[in-house]
A and B are shown apart, each in its own frame.
Chain A
Amino acid sequence: MSAVELRGVGKDYGPVRALHEISLALDAGLLVWLAGANGAGKSTLLRVLGSLTRPTRGSVSLFGVDPFRAACAAVRGRVGFLGQEASLYGELSVAENLHFCARLRGVAEPELEPIAAELELEPVLHQRVRTLSQGYRRRAGLARALLGSPSLLLLDEPWNGLDAAAGERLTRLLVRKRDGGAVVLVAAHEASGPLPRFDRTLRLEGGSLSAEGAAA
């Protein structure tokens, strides 16, 4: 049984078909690249995996369980998601945002400090998110996604807004997570800059998986 399984997943937005019959299986401990041009469906696929939107067709299985069933809601706590937006409350500070998310996901307080330290957020911990630069905001969003040591990490263009040094640190962080047994699925452009060595590549074209294989 794989950690992540999609069977015939399709997603329609009204008359527009964003995803066609996607089937894939990912085991634990994998660093996967979700590649494709703009509009190919990368964000939609991540949103379906992150339980943000229900697939129109097909089924999703995370760690053996359907995350869309109310009875299995707990599995959503094992997923860390960072979308195009950082998903933070602008009027709350970074620390307050992290506290709120920790309470939402049942994460204990002592876990917050190491994550904030790892992403070098100490200088801005008590600043309102609204006032942060793009780079800090993305890092705060990433910290939020990492809460609770998720077994599945879904990241949409995580290197956007990060400088070279921060980008390097992110790469090393993702590799560490993969080594720790998590499934890390990252959507990124080729043009994002130097990308890590991925274990697998999933290429999306027009909403369909066009290629699958070991990373370039």
Chain B
Amino acid sequence: MSGASVARAVFAKDLLLDFRTRDRLGHMAVFALLVVALLSIAVPASADERRAWSPALLWMVLLFASLLGLARSFQSEAEGGALALLVQAPVDRGWVFLGKAGANALALFGVALWTAVLFTVFLDVDWSEAWRPALAAGALGALGLAALGTLLAAMSVAVRFREFLLPVLLFPLVLPVLVLASSITGAALAGRPVPGLWWGVFALYDWVFVVLGYLVFDYVLED
């Protein structure tokens, strides 16, 4: 038995719970739908203006929707006292983090795809030329959000006012995700090439926070 098998077990269990209960994914999807619908009604804009603002708006919507899901990363554990299981795992608990963050990343990527579809339907965004870089940006962004979000969600489980605390803690730190992802998406939609530097920094960001989360999670779960 190894740390990797523990990570896989946690990952599989989280996905199983997400698909069985559907409330976490469902709430994120419905929230995204509501916000995009409101935006398309309330924001009067020409087609050009919409094209300019869509990338940033899309990622803002995704950021708020992901808050709903991330805040509940440890809800299933908290309800049955099952957090003890993760704390007592006989491996470095960083592996538990990797499993959880992985499941969150997959969920957020799904919500990102859904949001992209919503933007096509409501705001006439055409992905046919841009879908490859946009998909990659979506994956990198989902991973970055999931890494920091999972770590901070674990810390806010035991603290008061956690619905308020998580966004306050998370938003300044994920600003780079917002900017990088919307810049890449915007460039792709406008048909411009995406500078390699952006990809490099984005990948570096994800790597740094996945590694940091792994290193630090052992301490976080202890208390």
Interface window among A33-41, A80-88, A195-203: A80-88
Q: Is the CB of A104 within 8 A of B87?
A: no
Interface window among B54-62, B88-96, B175-183, B199-207: B88-96
With both beta carbons as reference points, the residue of chain B lying nearest to A77 in the complex is identified as: B90
Q: Is the CB of B9 within 8 A of A89?
A: no
Is A207 interfacial (CB-CB < 8 Å)?
Answer: no
Q: Report chain A residues within 8 Å CB of B6.
A: 103-104
What is the size, in residues, of chain B's interface with A at 8 Å between Cβ atoms?
Answer: 30
Q: Is the CB of A87 within 8 A of B89?
A: no
Q: Report chain A residues within 8 Å CB of B86.
A: 104
Interface 0/1 of B83-111, CB less than 8 Å to A: 01111111111000000000000000000
Q: Report chain A residues within 8 Å CB of B13.
A: 89, 92, 100
Q: Report chain A residues within 8 Å CB of B8.
A: 103
Is B82 interfacial (CB-CB < 8 Å)?
Answer: yes
Q: Is the CB of B90 within 8 A of A106?
A: yes
Q: Is the CB of A85 within 8 A of B5?
A: no
Interface centre among A50, A104, A129 (most CB of B within 10 A): A104
Q: Report chain B residues within 8 Å CB of A125.
A: none
Within 8 A of B (CB), among A25-65: 50-54
Determine how close the nearest CB of chain B comes to the CB of A129; give it in whole angstroms: 7
Contact of A89 among B1, B82, B87 (CB under 8 A): B82
Q: Report chain A residues within 8 Å CB of B91.
A: 73-74
Is A135 interfacial (CB-CB < 8 Å)?
Answer: no
User: In the complex where A77-B90, A100-B13 touch, is A54 in contact with B222 (Cβ < 8 A)?
Assistant: yes
Complex Cα spacing A81 to B83, Å:
12
Complex Cα spacing A83 to B84, Å:
9
User: In the complex where A84-B81, A100-B13 touch, is A91 in contact with B76 (Cβ < 8 A)?
Assistant: yes
Q: Report chain A residues within 8 Å CB of B85.
A: 87, 100-101, 104
Is B160 interfacial (CB-CB < 8 Å)?
Answer: no
Q: Report chain A residues within 8 Å CB of B20.
A: 91-92
User: In the complex where A70-B92, A91-B21, A104-B9 touch, is A81 in contact with B80 (Cβ < 8 A)?
Assistant: no
With both beta carbons as reference points, the residue of chain A lying nearest to B222 in the complex is identified as: A54
Determine how close the nearest CB of chain B comes to the CB of A202; give it in whole angstroms: 22
Is B48 interfacial (CB-CB < 8 Å)?
Answer: no
Complex Cα spacing A129 to B82, Å:
12
Is A96 interfacial (CB-CB < 8 Å)?
Answer: yes
Is A159 interfacial (CB-CB < 8 Å)?
Answer: no
User: In the complex where A89-B17, A91-B17 touch, is A103 in contact with B80 (Cβ < 8 A)?
Assistant: no
Is A75 interfacial (CB-CB < 8 Å)?
Answer: yes
Q: Is the CB of A89 within 8 A of B81?
A: no
With both beta carbons as reference points, the residue of chain B lying nearest to A105 in the complex is identified as: B90
Is A90 interfacial (CB-CB < 8 Å)?
Answer: yes
Q: Is the CB of A76 within 8 A of B88?
A: yes
Complex Cα spacing A92 to B17, Å:
7
Contact of A52 among B21, B80, B87, B218 (CB under 8 A): B87
Q: Is the CB of A81 within 8 A of B76?
A: no
Contact of A87 among B10, B81, B93 (CB under 8 A): B81
Q: Report chain A residues within 8 Å CB of B49.
A: none
Complex Cα spacing A2 to B10, Å:
34
Q: Is the CB of A103 within 8 A of B5?
A: yes
Contact of A51 among B76, B77, B80, B88 (CB under 8 A): B88
**Chain A residues packing against B (C-beta within 8 Å):** 50-54, 68, 70, 73-77, 79, 81, 83-92, 96, 100-101, 103-106, 129
Instruction: Pull 13 A–B residue pairs with CB atoms less than 8 Å apart, ordered by A.
Output: A51-B87, A52-B84, A54-B223, A68-B222, A74-B90, A83-B81, A86-B80, A88-B82, A91-B76, A100-B13, A104-B6, A105-B1, A106-B5
A51-B88, A73-B92, A88-B82 given; 12 more Cβ-contact pairs under 8 Å: A52-B87, A68-B222, A70-B92, A73-B90, A79-B88, A84-B81, A87-B81, A89-B80, A90-B80, A91-B17, A92-B17, A106-B90
